[in-house]
Amino acid sequence: MVSHPCETAGDLARKLIQDELAACVHMLPAGESIYSWKNEICQEKETLLMIKTAADPKIFTERVLDAHPYECPEIIGFEVSEGHREYLDWIEQLSKGDS
């Protein structure tokens, strides 16, 4: 499923929630990133998204890659082993994303 990339971090956050791939997306204030890409030093303002999901990592990654405007976006997962059970259940309930 190929779609047009999202234009903003908010667009991507809304899409992930709408598609039931995230229960919550926290958008941190835009920061400045300096990085090397294709033999060039680049500098851009970027918004970091903290996405709370219980979706299958493969499905989640494919959908983000499909919607993200970058050729190679940062997608890093952290497994949560402990937390407020009610909150973790809420994430599980809203973000299975297995369709």
CATH number for position 72: 3.30.70.120
Whether residue 99 is contained in a domain is answered as no
Buried b (16+ CB within 10 A) or exposed e, 31-56: eeeeeeeeeeeeeeeeeebebbbbbe
pLDDT of residue 1: 44
Examine residue 2 and state whether it is found in any structural domain, yes or no.
Answer: no
Domain containing 62: what range? 9-94
Q: What count of other Cβ atoms lies within 10 Å of the Cβ of residue 8?
A: 11
Pairing state between β 49-52 and 24-27? antiparallel
Report yes or no on whether pTM surpasses 0.85.
Answer: yes
- The predicted-structure confidence for 9-49, as pLDDT tens digits, reads as follows 999 999 999 999 999 999 998 899 999 999 999 999 999 99
Number of structural domains the chain divides into: 1
pLDDT at 7 over 80: yes
